[in-house]
């Protein structure tokens, strides 16, 4: 498969620097390595494991990425289907498109416990 | 009565649970664990007394759902999402044992469900919480800002209700 991408100048510089540091000769080789690392990170996070770096003496530094959190099991709710009438969907669209309502006092009281 | 809310576990004591509704009792006793553990069609969290942490006195079940953008009439779906589906969180079930009703357990479970929904919104993205409430529970959900979604078929036993997660977020931010 042929892969092409437009990237900003700043990322081009980072890419070149990475290739130098890792002694990689081609974009294809770099991409293959990055795919392996990304795949590993996704599999780890999907299994509920967190990704961190360990220093000899310093504190553990955790990699937190909103992208990876999309596959984290603690944020995965099982999916179910809801049956809708066209009228319900029209009303739901109106509600979801409107500005959010101000929270009622009981809701504020409820969330105060959070 | 100090309470805790946590994810349902296999050895939780659910056999004495009685909220007064057979379907909600049966769900907890027969399906909740299987659905959560084996089929991944709903995650159940239970309330229990700290002193008797295995005995379930209430529960809620959350699931994610999505509505195909194309199923909305006209171009209404277009305004809701740039992608194919509009993601939502479904509060599929919430029930409290009769012996513990009117003691704030339901509110505690609702708060927990909304906290989880906010986390889902933060990490994965979703617009709102929906609940398909029994008619008798509509006023209770209404107190907390759930809005009935009109247009259900005549004689439908339940009422779909909507709560914008931005409203829930604002309830926290205003403090």
- Most B CBs within 10 Å: which of A65, A80, A94, as the mutation test of the B interface? A80
Note whether residue A3 is domain-resident. Answer: no
Task: Calculate the alpha carbon distances from B134 to A83, B64, B107 in Å.
Answer: 16, 20, 17
Whether residues A78 and B64 touch (CB distance < 8 A) is answered with yes
Do residue B43 and residue A78 have CB atoms under 8 angstroms apart?
A: yes
Does the interface ipTM go beyond 0.95? no
In a domain, A103, yes or no: no
Residue B8: other Cβ atoms inside 10 A: 20
Q: Which residues of chain B are within 8 Å of residue A88 when distances are taken between CB atoms?
A: 149-152, 160
H or E element, residue B3: strand B3-7
- Per-residue pLDDT tens for B136-148? 999 999 999 999 9
Low-confidence ranges of chain B (pLDDT < 70): 39, 76, 78, 81-83, 174-175
Tell me how many residue pairs between chain A and chain B have CB atoms under 8 A apart. 150
pLDDT per residue over A20-39, tens digit each? 999 999 999 999 999 999 99
Q: By CA distance, what is B125's nearest residue in A?
A: A70
Domain for residue A112, yes or no?
Answer: no
Say whether pLDDT at A3 is over 90: no
Q: Do A80 and B108 touch (CB under 8 A)?
A: no
List Cβ<8 Å contacts ≥24 apart for B46-51: B46/B5, B46/B6, B46/B7, B46/B8, B46/B12, B47/B3, B47/B4, B47/B5, B47/B96, B47/B105, B47/B108, B47/B109, B48/B3, B48/B4, B48/B6, B48/B12, B49/B1, B49/B2, B49/B3, B49/B4, B50/B2, B50/B3, B50/B4, B51/B2
Question: Nearest CA of chain B to the CA of A45: how many Å?
Answer: 13
At residue B7's C-alpha, the angle toward residues A42 and A49, to 5°, is 20
- Inform me whether the pLDDT recorded for A79 exceeds 70: no
Q: What pLDDT score was predicted for residue A62?
A: 85
**A105 close to B (CB below 8 A):** no
A81, part of any domain = yes
How far, in Å, CA of B119 to CA of B137, rounded? Answer: 25
Name the residue range of residue A46's domain: 9-52+61-97
CB proximity under 8 Å: B 63-102 to A: 63-67, 71-73, 76-77, 79-80, 86, 89-90, 92
Nearest CA in chain B to A113: B111
Residue A25, domain member (yes or no): yes
Residue A113 lies in a domain: no
Q: Where are the domains of chain B?
A: 3-173
Cross-chain CB nearest to B150 (options A78, A91, A114): A91
CB contact under 8 A, A89 and B71: yes
The DSSP code for A79 is B
Contact B89 A85 (CB under 8 A): no
Catalytic positions of B: 141
What pLDDT score was predicted for residue A48?
A: 82
3-state helix, strand, coil in chain A (%, to 5): 55, 5, 40
Q: Indicate whether A89 belongs to any domain.
A: yes
Indicate the class that CATH gives domain B3-173: alpha beta
CA B63 to CA B70: how far, in whole Å?
A: 22
User: Residue B175 has what pLDDT?
Assistant: 53
CA distances from B121 to A44, B10, B17, B166 (A): 22, 28, 31, 9
Count structural domains, chain A.
1
Say which residues have a Cβ less than 8 Å from residue A17's Cβ, sequence separation at least 6.
none
């Amino acid at each position: 498969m042929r892969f092409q991408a437009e990237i900003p100048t700043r990322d081009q510089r980072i890419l070149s620097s990475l290739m130098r540091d890792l002694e990689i000769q081609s974009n294809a080789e770099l991409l293959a390595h990055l795919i392996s690392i990304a795949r590993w990170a996704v599999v780890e996070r999907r299994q509920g494991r967190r990704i961190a770096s360990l220093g000899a003496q310093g504190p553990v530094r955790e990699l937190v990425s909103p992208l990876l959190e999309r596959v984290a099991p603690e944020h995965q709710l099982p999916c179910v289907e809801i049956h809708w009438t066209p009228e319900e969907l029209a009303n739901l669209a109106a509600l979801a498109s409107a500005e959010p309502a101000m929270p009622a006092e009981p809701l504020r009281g409820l969330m105060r416990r959070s | 009565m100090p309470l805790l809310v946590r994810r349902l576990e296999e050895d939780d004591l659910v056999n004495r649970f009685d909220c007064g509704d057979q379907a909600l009792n049966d769900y907890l006793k027969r399906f909740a664990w299987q659905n959560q553990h084996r089929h991944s069609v709903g995650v159940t969290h239970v309330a229990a007394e700290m002193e008797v942490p295995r005995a379930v006195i209430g529960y809620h079940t959350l699931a994610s759902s999505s509505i195909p953008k194309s199923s909305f009439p006209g171009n209404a779906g277009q305004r809701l999402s740039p992608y194919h589906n509009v993601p939502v969180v479904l509060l599929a079930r919430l029930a409290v044992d009769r012996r513990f009703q009117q003691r704030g357990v339901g509110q505690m479970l609702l708060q927990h469900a909304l906290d989880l929904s906010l986390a889902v919104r933060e990490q994965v993205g979703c617009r709102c919480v929906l609940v398909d409430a029994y008619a008798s529970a509509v006023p209770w959900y209404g107190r907390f800002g759930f809005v009935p979604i009109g247009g259900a078929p005549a004689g439908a036993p339940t009422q779909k209700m909507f709560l914008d997660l931005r409203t829930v977020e604002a309830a926290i931010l205003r403090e």
